[in-house]
Structure 1
Amino acid sequence: LPPELPLTVSPLPALATLLLIAAAVQLSARCAAWRTSRMPATEAVAESRSEPRTPSRARTGAGVLLILGACALSVVPLLSRTVLGASVTSIAGILAAIGLAMCGPALVRSAGEAAVRRLRPGVAAPTWLALSNVRAYALRLSGVVSPLAMGVVFVLTYTLTQTTVLAATSDDTRTGTLAQYELTAPALGGLPDGTLSAVRDVPGVRAAAPAGTTTVVWEYEELGEPAVESASAMILTPDARDVLDLGVTDGGLDRLTGATVAVSAEAARTRDAGLGKRVRLVLGDGARVEARVVAVYD
């Protein structure tokens, strides 16, 4: 690793995680047992075998509002087609899971009552008992539904969001590539010297340009506060305009010489990085560069 990006190894993060988990478990357990521990034993046993007849309206209303808010947030990726917009999906999923946990008893009870009303005469005893249990112990059953919903949320949002972003990035790169062939040599650590000129001398080749990928850290200000974001980037030359079509709307790829960079229209708008502006980047080797924006693409 370069000296600008040192590797820090410390047991403190793991220790802090263990302490936070222990504190969260203690707090949740004490809060859950606080009311019951102050009741007479006979009353506590009797209450454990029964539930409130109607779920709390305030709790149900708050849960419904959270679910509606999650639905509104889930539209953000359709309006902002960026990595940041896609990350909102995870927040929406968590809000929906919390909302389901809060209004779960009312939903479970309503579903159980609707199913009971549609039972045909002569239904099997196990079916009748199961639906009666759903109606009588909706609070307990919702305690099972909520963890299942949380598991689905983590799988669909945190896992599939990343794969969706990667697939979309690959698809955009493939769509914007005009070249019919690509030459790579990963086993050799890269193409040998002279490959570019040799390819250009091949009969029938109209254009050839080198291209590579790297990761950069973009330093910028957001709401007056310093912020950084790591993102993948392509290493291009002015000849890239003959083999790539990025949908340039301002400037041109033929200006990519020296400390220059091309940015997306979304980044140019949200980070004040329009044509001619300078942005601070940290390259993969740790070098800091103040690059000038020479092209903006869709």
Structure 2
Amino acid sequence: MSHRQKRVKPGRPSKDDQKEGVEIQRSSDDENEYIADDSDCERIFSLLAKQSSYKNITKTGPTKTKKADEEQLAEASENVKKVLVDLQIEDPQFFFLSNQKRKYEFDNDKLVDKTEYKLIKKDEFGDQFKTLIHKINIVNKELDENFIDVLKEILIQYQDLVIQEVNSNTIIEKIIQTIKNPENQEKFQYLLTWQRLKSITKETRMNRAIEDLEEKRKEINKKTSDKVKKKHQEFIDSQKKELDEENSMDPLQYLITKLITAFDKIIGRFDQIMLQGLIACK
């Protein structure tokens, strides 16, 4: 092995590995594709990873939790316990993401991923959606199989509505209606459970996230370099904007809105919508 090669590592290569420009021995066959190789896949996976947890993060450090906040956290915790008892399920550590054990074998001195992943069949979708399904399947290798079933149902309805030339906002509304329809409860129970738990902890999670951002902003103001300050302030402003957007919707609405926006971009519908908007403004 060349001194410029790195040892074989399971999973997809990190961005740091890619940026270094060194020769990487991937942990599976050369035809395998990785989330880090595609910005659309990264966007979808990042969304699901960020939304996967409904739990409040325990605050550490010198800043103490206010008594009112402690009471609010305790109330949210009790409500979560009631829901778990009501649904007769164990406390899930997270949603959406897979905890499947990977199976690797050596083949001609190369570590090959032999894991059997649950994927969505491309032949169930039209040509316009082949690229979308292909990219979703790259992400699916990191997702919970139960969520993949839900995601497939969302994609099927998305395809039908796009073919009918329904606008994106209406697509989002119709998919949410389908998920919340009592007749579809069994089909979407996984997502409904996530929505229910996420809603209980929403206020405390959002308050904590905004509070943490403001603490970071104060720390940045102590820095001497204006250039460094500006760079960090811009990042915090973008984070605050995302939090405000998430806070303005219920969890399910936010998730579906972001997914449909990502889907539209992949199939080229986002560009068409932008073009139509520009034409309308003229």
Question: Rg larger in 1 or in 2?
Answer: 1
TM-score tier after normalising by the smaller chain length:
under 0.3
Q: TM (normalized to structure 1)?
A: 0.24
Instruction: Compare the two structures and name the one with the higher strand fraction.
Output: 1
Tell me the TM-score normalised to structure 2 length.
0.25
